[in-house]
């Protein structure tokens, strides 16, 4: 199995609270991605990183921020969680040549 | 126009048949194309990637790319019930080191015994 670990795997939080999801990789991959997956919408890109401290927005970035201070870790923060952010969140990584592109196990987040 | 489009299905084929899954993309600068399989409740797993026009075969799977027509397809030969899953097409867009990986919504495949 690819060395990509997401934590936590499940979380229930209240509206208005900050939440941070972590993606940790041992593949030494350059690229890292955060997606959310919702019924009828497929996988939608939130933010991505193309190197340490190099990040950019995806198609659904509002309400989310990211940080990547080292190659192994990519953090996704919901500054003030809303019910619309209830979803399954996936992290993915890819090597420089994009010959390997793997997903983590996913985090199921429920905002009540 | 969506960046990556797939027929949502469901696509139903009998066991042993060939399943054909299609994907179109809008950005002519797209460089790499990926097919993932996702079982219900699981994370996507990479099946194949293709960069060049033509066919690429790996076991029962064949990916086909036609950049002029902006489509990529996945053929599954001798389909098995265990192939029943959602198949996701992904496209890597161009732009220096700024690589986005964009997904279609996926096609649900059901292989009937």
* Contact (Cβ atoms closer than 8 angstroms) between residue A14 and residue A78: no
* Contact (Cβ atoms closer than 8 angstroms) between residue A9 and residue A65: no
Look at residue B24 and give its three-state secondary structure: strand
Please write the tens of the pLDDT for every residue from A17-73: 999 999 999 999 999 999 999 988 889 999 999 999 999 999 999 999 999 999 999
* Contact (Cβ atoms closer than 8 angstroms) between residue A94 and residue A84: no
Q: How many CB pairs under 8 A join A and B?
A: 57
Q: Give the pLDDT band of residue B92 (cuts 50, 70, 90).
A: confident
Q: Answer whether B99 sits within 8 Å of A31, measured CB to CB.
A: yes
Question: Which of chain B's residues have a Cβ under 8 Å away from the Cβ of A88?
Answer: none
Q: What residues in chain B have their Cβ under 8 A from chain A's Cβ atoms? A: 32, 34, 36, 43-46, 49, 88, 90, 92, 97-106
Look at residue B83 and give its three-state secondary structure: helix
Residue of A43, A59, A102 best to disrupt the B interface, most CBs of B under 10 A? A43
Please write the tens of the pLDDT for every residue from B11-26: 999 999 999 999 999 9
User: Dihedral sign, CA of A23, A28, A34, A35?
Assistant: negative
How far away is chain A from the Cα of B105, in angstroms, using its nearest Cα?
A: 4
CA dist., res. A106 & res. A5, Å (int)? 9
How far away is chain A from the Cα of B20, in angstroms, using its nearest Cα?
A: 20
Please write the tens of the pLDDT for every residue from A96-105: 877 778 999 9
* Contact (Cβ atoms closer than 8 angstroms) between residue A76 and residue A46: yes
Q: Answer whether A45 sits within 8 Å of B32, measured CB to CB.
A: no
């Amino acid at each position: 199995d690819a060395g990509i670990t997401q934590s936590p795997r499940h979380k229930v939080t209240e509206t208005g609270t900050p939440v941070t999801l972590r993606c940790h990789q041992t593949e030494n991959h350059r690229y890292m991605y955060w997606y959310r997956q919702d019924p009828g919408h497929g996988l939608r890109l939130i933010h991505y990183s193309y190197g340490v401290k190099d990040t950019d927005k995806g198609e659904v970035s509002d309400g989310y921020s990211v940080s990547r201070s080292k190659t192994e870790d990519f953090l996704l923060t919901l500054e003030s969680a809303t019910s619309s952010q209830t979803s399954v969140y996936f992290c993915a990584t890819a090597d420089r040549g994009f010959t390997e592109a793997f997903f983590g196990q996913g985090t199921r987040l429920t905002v009540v | 126009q969506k960046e990556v489009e797939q027929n949502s299905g469901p696509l139903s084929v009998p066991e042993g048949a060939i399943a054909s899954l299609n994907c179109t993309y809008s950005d002519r600068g797209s460089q790499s194309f990926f097919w993932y399989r996702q079982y219900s409740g699981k994370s996507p797993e990479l099946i194949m990637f293709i960069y060049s026009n033509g066919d690429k075969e790996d076991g029962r799977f064949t990916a086909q790319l036609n950049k002029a027509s902006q489509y990529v397809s996945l053929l599954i030969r001798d389909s098995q019930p265990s192939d029943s899953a959602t198949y996701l097409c992904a496209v890597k867009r161009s732009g220096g080191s700024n690589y986005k990986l964009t997904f279609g919504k996926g096609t649900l495949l059901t292989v009937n015994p």
